[in-house]
A and B are shown apart, each in its own frame.
Chain A
Amino acid sequence: MVRRTLDIDLNRVEGDLSFEVDLEGATIVDARCIGTLYRGFEQLMIGRAPKDGLVITPRVCGICGTAHLYSAVLALEDAGGFRVPAHATLIRNLCLMAENVQSDIRQTFLFFAPDLLHPRYADHPLAADIDRAFKPLAGKVVRSALDASRKILGIVALFGGQWPHSSYMVPGGVTRPANSRDLVECEGMVDAAIEWFEDVVIGGDMHAWLALDSAAGCLNWLETPDGGASALGLMSRMARSVGLHTIGGGVNAFISGGVHHAPSDGESSGRSTFVPGGLYDGASGQLEAFDHARITEEVRYAWFRPYDGGRHPYDGETVPDYRPGDDRYTWAKAPRYDGRVVETGPFAELLVGGDAMLRDLLAEEGGSCWLRQFARLRRCAHTLHWMKHHLAQLADCHTQPHVIVPDESALQSGQGYGMVQAARGTLGHWIQLDEGKISRYQMVTPTAWNASPKDTAGRHGHWEQSVIGLTLADPDDPLELGHIVRSHDPCLVCTVHFAGSGKRVRYGI
């Protein structure tokens, strides 16, 4: 059969993405996820003062700068053996949660939903409802989602001064405490977000919805008048009616580094999280504990100076080596966990964390484009729940110190790492210091996990696997690819090494 190549780049992702697939007939037989931007962040950190990462690394990504800031400060605290008070940990977590809620909302309604307005669905019975709700910048749900996403960021602005891009997490704590005035204000912002989530997104009580613990519970909710008419209900009914619950599964192995760092009562390097991390194997249902030492990055198919096999970030390097014409194709490295290709993100986070409804849906229907997108808003509900939890804890400790000023002479040499669950999944920073300067800085971002190219063994990355085998209804208009790729919430700037643009369909040989 004649093989042809579709070369597609997609908008409505953070940063841009180019995707190249080989077709036999209308079926995808190979895929290459292509990063076309290199900005050199890890390189330009070398030689800078240790704390400068708190200013530079949030600027890796405009949408998850809080997550980068959090990872950067944890890495410094690990390197220096610094203590952090509970007050500070709770504020950091609250800000990260606000950022993640913002991202989950915007990704769903600004980036994923517009594909449901595609001309192919013009005669669909739900088309008018979808248009009214999700028309870009104009739909009723879209406008309310923009408003809700702005308001929840008020929490970051309260403690950090601004969003995006602030530097309020500092070694030993945060730059300002929460006073009782702030607690009341935060409570108001979280309550408003929950009210919006209940009224607009799910059409009912959030905790009752979180308590649904089976696939049947989810599907029954979709059949209720309020659930079915809600934004998530409408999107789910539409997505399922066009088969998005049957495509786009991927590797079926999921990682989370653990969610919401638990206050360590001033002990250094608190690694424990309220929701533990791990690797969840979708096939066996087995869960194993997370260990950062099992992370490696490979560069066989990326435009970096070649090295053999995989390297842990402490031994990593980022030296561009662009040579067009060979078989390398991207500016993204290929992270592997214990040698395995894995998926990270909200779906992975909740599967690892034990969300019974999602585990049951995965077991019943398998992973899919729809389930991944559904999980993103499910994570939003979990997060809002944890924000309330944190505000209650903060009320008990906000009169304690918000920072324990560290002895920064400890940052003359040494190494440390920090990991958090960013909007798009597991994010890690690894720092090494020499003579009081940064001598090595490596980041492994969520999109690097998901959008990784092939590794030395020739195994495709997760996104690539999620489209290989897919049969397109119309190869000249590969709409299904848009649905699947956007369900991953690609953040291309976040690969540190990455982007592309627009939408094109080009035929190769």
Chain B
Amino acid sequence: MKNMLWLQTGACSGDTMALLCAENPTIEQLVKAGTIEVLWHPSLSSGDADLGALIAAIEAGEQRLDLLCIEGSIITGPQGTGMFDSYRKRPKMDIVRALAAHAGHVVAMGTCAAFGGIPASGSNPTDSIGLQFDRDKQGGLLAWDWRAKSGTPVINVAGCPAHPETIVRTLAMLARDLPMELDGLNRPAVFFSSMVHQGCTRNEYHEYDVEETELGGRGCMYFNLGCKGPSTQAVCNTTLWNGRSSKTRAGVPCFGCTAPNFPAEGDLFRTEKIADVPIKMPLGVARGQYMAYKNLAKAAAPVRVRGRKMEP
């Protein structure tokens, strides 16, 4: 049994909605089985839960806190005050910093809490950052060498929103003290080692270089339509969303939402290219060899692929 406090900062509730969508295990199963005790959650707590008293008790060392989940960007504006996002006239960023000092684990639920996310993009009008990262660099709310009581850095359950099953299974693993290896971005490696491209039902189109130039087709979206599936790590096509599908299967490019630089600054539906080949190669692939492979692949494409006969 571990207790959990889930706090929303500069959030859209998307990760909370994803949590409610998880099918195995469900959040209500985890609660019913006693695996997780919800100390507080903005949407799930009962009417008599009192966040203010809870925060005070944790800060005073009177209440144990096992899992601190943060959903949303850490907003530091205007002028460093944090008052674009406050609770009882206290900036949320100060509350998060205080609670983190007492937590067994701190979990960033979603790309906003992990890296800053959409509010931190472009002109970043609210001066948003992540918990331990500012996009792909140091400079988050907590110092680079900050560690939770358990000795781990902030665990980044990245995604916009994070995948429902990744959220709930990370919680279950932590609650059961199962080992959790983190990758170079402090994401739980077991959910962030596979590529979005892996398991995409358009793979055979990609394999033979049958690439779409307009949205709505059956072919691959990597070369022209901005799909970042070959360079993005997430379980979207190995553990399906809502038990059923994924964006790339449905013809929507992967926008790379588990990466620290999401969303990219350029046109999100266009692939940046040199000559006819994307600048960003599939993860770890050498450009020259890839171009040679693609030329051969195109020539080898069977009619069923060239003619887009297959349903993705």
Q: Residues of A at under 8 Å CB distance from B?
A: 9, 11-16, 36-41, 43-44, 46-49, 51-52, 54-56, 59-63, 65, 106, 110-111, 114-115, 117-119, 135-138, 142-143, 146, 149-150, 153-154, 156-168, 170, 172-176, 179, 320, 322, 324, 331, 402-403, 405, 482, 493, 499-504, 506
Contacts of A106 in B (CB 8 A): 20
Contacts of B50 in A (CB 8 A): 502-504
The answer for the CA separation of A401 and B32 in the assembled complex, in Å, is 47
Please report which residues of chain B, range 238-252, place their CB below 8 angstroms from some CB of chain A when the two chains form the complex. 240-252
Q: Which of the residues A14, A37, A159, A161 comes within 8 Å of B241, measured between beta carbons?
A: A161
Per-position binary interface string of chain B over residues 208-247, scored 1 when its CB falls under 8 Å from any chain A CB and 0 otherwise: 0000001110000000000000000000100011111111
Assess whether B16 is interfacial by the CB under 8 Å rule.
Answer: yes
The answer for the CA separation of A164 and B12 in the assembled complex, in Å, is 11
Q: 13 other contacts beyond A15-B12, A502-B50, with CB at 8 A cut-off?
A: A40-B84, A47-B122, A61-B12, A114-B46, A137-B32, A161-B250, A161-B252, A164-B14, A167-B247, A176-B216, A402-B216, A405-B214, A493-B13
Does B31 lie within 8 Å of A137, measured CB to CB?
yes
Assess whether B182 is interfacial by the CB under 8 Å rule.
Answer: no
Does B268 lie within 8 Å of A160, measured CB to CB?
no
Binds A, one of B123-131, B150-158, B171-179: B123-131
Please name the 9 residue pairs, one residue from A and one from B, whose CB atoms are nearest each other, closest first: A502-B51, A62-B14, A175-B251, A161-B250, A162-B241, A40-B125, A403-B216, A157-B242, A161-B247
Residue of A65, A111, A119, A482 ringed by the most chain B CB atoms within 10 A: A65
Assess whether B80 is interfacial by the CB under 8 Å rule.
Answer: no
Does B268 lie within 8 Å of A55, measured CB to CB?
yes
Does A504 lie within 8 Å of B245, measured CB to CB?
no
Contacts of B161 in A (CB 8 A): 62, 164-165
Q: Which of the residues A16, A143, A160 comes within 8 Å of B42, measured between beta carbons?
A: A16
Assess whether B85 is interfacial by the CB under 8 Å rule.
Answer: yes
Residue of A59, A160, A166 ringed by the most chain B CB atoms within 10 A: A59
Does B119 lie within 8 Å of A40, measured CB to CB?
yes
Q: A15-B8, A62-B14 are in contact. Are A36 and B86 (CB under 8 A)?
A: yes
Q: Which of the residues A61, A142, A501 comes within 8 Å of B13, measured between beta carbons?
A: A61
The answer for the CA separation of A150 and B216 in the assembled complex, in Å, is 26
The answer for the CA separation of A49 and B264 in the assembled complex, in Å, is 11
Among residues of A, the one whose C-beta sits closest to the C-beta of B266 is A49
Contacts of A38 in B (CB 8 A): 75, 84-85, 126
Among residues of A, the one whose C-beta sits closest to the C-beta of B7 is A501
Contact count A vs B, C-beta below 8 Å = 255
Q: A59-B12, A59-B160, A501-B87 are in contact. Are A11 and B244 (CB under 8 A)?
A: no
Among residues of B, the one whose C-beta sits closest to the C-beta of A173 is B216
Q: A36-B85, A51-B267 are in contact. Are A60 and B12 (CB under 8 A)?
A: yes
Does B250 lie within 8 Å of A39, measured CB to CB?
no
Please report which residues of chain B, range 73-103, place their CB below 8 angstroms from some CB of chain A when the two chains form the complex. 73, 75, 78, 83-88
User: A8 → chain B, closest Cβ, in Å?
Assistant: 11
Does A175 lie within 8 Å of B28, measured CB to CB?
no
Does B21 lie within 8 Å of A137, measured CB to CB?
no
Contacts of A179 in B (CB 8 A): 311
Does A157 lie within 8 Å of B28, measured CB to CB?
no
Please report which residues of chain B, range 246-281, place their CB below 8 angstroms from some CB of chain A when the two chains form the complex. 246-253, 255, 263, 266-270
- Tell me whether chain B's interface is mostly helix, strand or loop, or mixed: loop
Does B250 lie within 8 Å of A166, measured CB to CB?
yes
Contacts of A60 in B (CB 8 A): 12
Contacts of A44 in B (CB 8 A): 118-119, 121-125
Contacts of A41 in B (CB 8 A): 118-119
Q: A111-B43, A153-B21 are in contact. Are A48 and B88 (CB under 8 A)?
A: no
Does A320 lie within 8 Å of B14, measured CB to CB?
no
Assess whether B203 is interfacial by the CB under 8 Å rule.
Answer: no
Contacts of B84 in A (CB 8 A): 37-40, 320, 322, 331
Q: A39-B10, A44-B119 are in contact. Are A143 and B28 (CB under 8 A)?
A: yes
Q: A48-B122, A322-B83 are in contact. Are A11 and B51 (CB under 8 A)?
A: yes
Among residues of B, the one whose C-beta sits closest to the C-beta of A162 is B241
Per-position binary interface string of chain B over residues 36-51, scored 1 when its CB falls under 8 Å from any chain A CB and 0 otherwise: 0010101111111111
Does A117 lie within 8 Å of B47, measured CB to CB?
yes
Contacts of A49 in B (CB 8 A): 266-270
The answer for the CA separation of A43 and B125 in the assembled complex, in Å, is 7
Contacts of A149 in B (CB 8 A): 20
Does B16 lie within 8 Å of A62, measured CB to CB?
yes
User: B170 → chain A, closest Cβ, in Å?
Assistant: 18
Assess whether B66 is interfacial by the CB under 8 Å rule.
Answer: no
User: B48 → chain A, closest Cβ, in Å?
Assistant: 7
Assess whether B26 is interfacial by the CB under 8 Å rule.
Answer: yes
Q: Which of the residues B8, B87, B215, B236 comes within 8 Å of A403, measured between beta carbons?
A: B215
Assess whether B282 is interfacial by the CB under 8 Å rule.
Answer: no
Q: Which of the residues B49, B266, B270, B311 comes within 8 Å of A11, measured between beta carbons?
A: B49
Contacts of B249 in A (CB 8 A): 161
The answer for the CA separation of A503 and B85 in the assembled complex, in Å, is 17
Does A62 lie within 8 Å of B17, measured CB to CB?
yes
Contacts of B73 in A (CB 8 A): 39
Does B125 lie within 8 Å of A320, measured CB to CB?
yes
User: B49 → chain A, closest Cβ, in Å?
Assistant: 7
The answer for the CA separation of A153 and B23 in the assembled complex, in Å, is 12
Does A39 lie within 8 Å of B126, measured CB to CB?
yes
Among residues of B, the one whose C-beta sits closest to the C-beta of A331 is B84
User: A70 → chain B, closest Cβ, in Å?
Assistant: 15
Assess whether B52 is interfacial by the CB under 8 Å rule.
Answer: yes
Assess whether B134 is interfacial by the CB under 8 Å rule.
Answer: no
The answer for the CA separation of A504 and B49 in the assembled complex, in Å, is 10
Among residues of B, the one whose C-beta sits closest to the C-beta of A43 is B125
Does B247 lie within 8 Å of A11, measured CB to CB?
no
The answer for the CA separation of A501 and B253 in the assembled complex, in Å, is 35
